[in-house]
Chains A and B, each alone.
Chain A
Amino acid sequence: MSPILEVRDLRVEFPTRRGTLVALDGVSFSIAPGEVLGVVGESGAGKSMTGAAIIGLLEPPGRIAGGQILLQGKRIDNLRYDQMRRIRGREIGAIFQDPLTTLNPLYTVGDQLIETMLTHLPISPAVAKRRAVEWLEMVGIPAAAQRVQSYPHEFSGGMRQRVVIALALCAEPKLIVADEPTTALDVSIQAQVIALLKRLAREKGTAMMLVTHDMGVIAETADRVAVMYAGRIAEIGPVREVVKNPQHPYTAGLMASIPPLDRRVERLAQIDGAMPRLSAIPQGCAYNPRCPRVFSRCAVERPELLDAGTTLAACWLHAKAMTDA
């Protein structure tokens, strides 16, 4: 099946007075219809930036400096603002972390749903009105027929995020970019929202890019996962493999440092140091100063994504294995 989204060798730069910062470099991945790709990493790894580049909402002065973004085979990275505006909403739905800032406080949720559908779909206002209620029902809002006339502030946080999900899905986009959709919610609400998002994506065959720092959410929701570090993909592969059998030392360190829920450990595994700033990304592999398995080549040459058996990992350990064999 041909992918809905294809990102090829994406590079995002921020020109500053002290020189150009490379925020994303050589980022490539694709998402198939109905597939959920999780994108994880620590703050500053470039995961949200990747999402922003895809929906064409990079904060200036950030700009796409190289590579291509293809939606159903057509390039969308070089479109004008007004062309991209038509694609956003219609072809790509976006869900952000904070549901309150996503919704317009001056319109009822029904009006916002109806406006979105009328803008993007060839339907009459009467049909749009009926569908607005159906969408609220679908995302699990009780008494949808009445709540359609409520304003965003009349909903609780979890209910608001449901409205945002309905809004992102109501124009039936091919791709959803969800950036930390559950981070602002309490755990008991998180579970409800994730289950809902996943079910709807499955049913509608929508491809989804799920950006989060929460590995637990990824482990449960995603089909494949990309682990980002310092603006590049460190490892990408099926979620089970990446979580249970990571091939990149950074992924392994990240997984080990998550406190386990099912037992108490004497000492948590920790990765010393912190992610480098964009202005000081080390030469060679960006992870080499923190890596427990670093060797001479890592400090000199930057690894591309290499075949690591079950996953792809940007790590020279896997090149060595190949030459040895």
Chain B
Amino acid sequence: MPEPAPFVEARDLARYFDVSRPVLQRLFSGEGRRILRAVDGVSFTIPKGTTLSLVGESGCGKSTVARLIVGLYPPTAGRVLFDGQDLRQARAAASQRRRMQMIFQDPYASLNPRWRVEDIVAEPIRAFGLEKDAAGVRDRVGALLTQVGLAPQDGAKFPHEFSGGQRQRISIARALSSSPEFLVCDEPTSALDVSVQAQILNLMMDLQRRLGLTYLFISHNLAVVRQVSDTIGVMYLGRLVEVSPAETLFQAPQHPYTRALMEAIPDMAMAGHARAPVGGEVPSPIDPPTGCAFHPRCPLANTRCKVERPELLVAGGAMVACHAVQEGRATSMPEAA
């Protein structure tokens, strides 16, 4: 099968944050600058009409990647290519900018409480001048609300009159109002209850099929990610440790961190079953461990892992950044029973 042309591409993307104390305090205490490497050397491609998900625990940098991809943060290093163009150029023209939109986690914080829903949804249409007159805007807003399972009359209401799930539908309607081709969804269902989460995930998958959307999906929930993704990237401390087609990742996870993550999830099918939890915690990204960042928690770590950082290399249908996998030591990993 020929490799489809990437629609969105991240090349060696990095974003550092300066978290040093104020200059004067630093001078007195004789302390240097402190740099937090939120994202460090992340590369991936998303073919048109597919979903790439990034998973990982809090602080792994997945939300920072989302913001870099839509241009909310400028990258410290590396670049983002959108439909073959550098993101900076792509974002210079409004006609290009409207092609990408973002959906945020908290539908309580991302909608202006003083605006009526019709104005919230119409804002991108007006900003990009996509309709000529008020009647055109109104019709388009009505159609968008219908598309996400609300009624056109709901436009006259305020956000507080809606439940969390309905608010997230409004966020989706707003995101779709400029007819984007690419949506970045940062934990779109983690603030929602599980039965409502199913509604929103189904809606997002229907919309993708109908409109041919491309998604970058950020989540900490592996079960959700399994349902929506074509490709999955697992992040740990600002780096991708494994990138794999969704089914391959779940059937044969390779990186010890991916395995540990899967083992850690409480599973409905295992009622009354005890698991062996992963030891330790995610280290601070300000002062990450040398070599492979996962080595202090890894059951397979050896001296090489402590010194040399593994690159993301091809391994059995996936890309894995692990010395143990490359050396063939990972097969001997005690299988979690």
Residues of A within 8 A of B (CB): 42-43, 156-159, 186-192, 194-195, 213-217, 219-221, 239-240, 243-244, 253-255, 257-265, 267-272, 274-275
Contacts and interface: CB of A to CB of B under 8 A. Distances in A.
A244 B262 CA distance: 21
Report, nearest first, the 5 A-B pairs whose CB atoms are least far apart: A216-B266, A42-B193, A191-B277, A257-B198, A186-B57
Interface of B: 57-58, 163-166, 193-199, 201-202, 205, 220-224, 226-227, 246-247, 250, 260-275, 277-279, 281-282
A191 B194 contact: no
Contacts of B263: 191
B196 A274 contact: yes
A313 B126 CA distance: 52
Which one of A190, A191, A213, A271 has the highest number of Cβ atoms from chain B below 10 Å of its Cβ? A191
A261 B267 contact: yes
Contacts of A262: 250, 267, 269
Nearest to B283: A156
A188 B267 contact: no
A247 to B, nearest CB: 16
Contacts of A157: 281
A263 B277 CA distance: 22
B201 A268 contact: yes
13 contacts: A187-B264, A188-B260, A188-B277, A191-B265, A216-B265, A216-B266, A219-B267, A220-B274, A220-B275, A240-B271, A243-B268, A261-B226, A267-B205
Nearest to B277: A191
A187 B268 contact: no
B268 A259 contact: no
Contacts of A268: 198, 201-202, 227
Given A259-B201, A262-B269, A274-B196, A187 B220 contact: yes
Contact of B163 (A215, A265, A274): A274
A191 B278 contact: yes
B331 to A, nearest CB: 22
B222 A219 contact: no
Contacts of A265: 227
Contact of B266 (A159, A194, A264, A271): A194
Given A190-B264, A191-B277, A268-B202, A239 B197 contact: no
Contacts of A269: 198
Given A216-B265, A219-B266, A42 B275 contact: no
A17 B163 CA distance: 22
Nearest to A255: B268
Nearest to B60: A186
Given A42-B195, A156-B281, A261-B222, 11 more contacts: A158-B281, A191-B275, A191-B277, A220-B271, A259-B221, A259-B223, A261-B223, A268-B198, A271-B198, A272-B199, A274-B166
Given A186-B57, A188-B264, A267-B202, A259 B227 contact: yes
Contacts of A216: 265-268
Nearest to A290: B195
Contacts of A220: 266-267, 270-275
B198 A187 contact: no
A117 B281 CA distance: 29
B62 to A, nearest CB: 12
Contacts of B277: 188, 191-192, 195
A292 to B, nearest CB: 13
A220 B268 CA distance: 8
Given A191-B264, A264-B227, A243 B193 contact: no
Contacts of A188: 57, 260-261, 264, 277-278, 281-282
Which one of A43, A157, A187, A221 has the highest number of Cβ atoms from chain B below 10 Å of its Cβ? A187
A16 to B, nearest CB: 17
Contact of B195 (A159, A192, A271): A271
A51 B105 CA distance: 28
A173 to B, nearest CB: 24
Contacts of A240: 271-272
B220 A213 contact: no
B58 to A, nearest CB: 6
B270 A219 contact: yes
A262 B226 CA distance: 9
Contacts of B165: 274
Given A186-B220, A259-B201, A254 B194 contact: yes
A192 B263 CA distance: 12
A137 to B, nearest CB: 16
A195 B278 CA distance: 11
Nearest to B257: A188
A254 B271 contact: no
Contact of B268 (A194, A213, A258): A258
A159 B281 CA distance: 9
Which one of A192, A259, A264 has the highest number of Cβ atoms from chain B below 10 Å of its Cβ? A259
Which one of B58, B195, B264, B279 has the highest number of Cβ atoms from chain A below 10 Å of its Cβ? B195
A301 to B, nearest CB: 25
B281 A189 contact: yes
Nearest to A261: B223
A306 to B, nearest CB: 23
A270 B199 CA distance: 6
A22 to B, nearest CB: 20
A128 to B, nearest CB: 29
Given A186-B282, A258-B223, A261-B223, A214 B266 contact: yes
Contact of A213 (B193, B227, B264, B271): B193
A250 B57 CA distance: 31
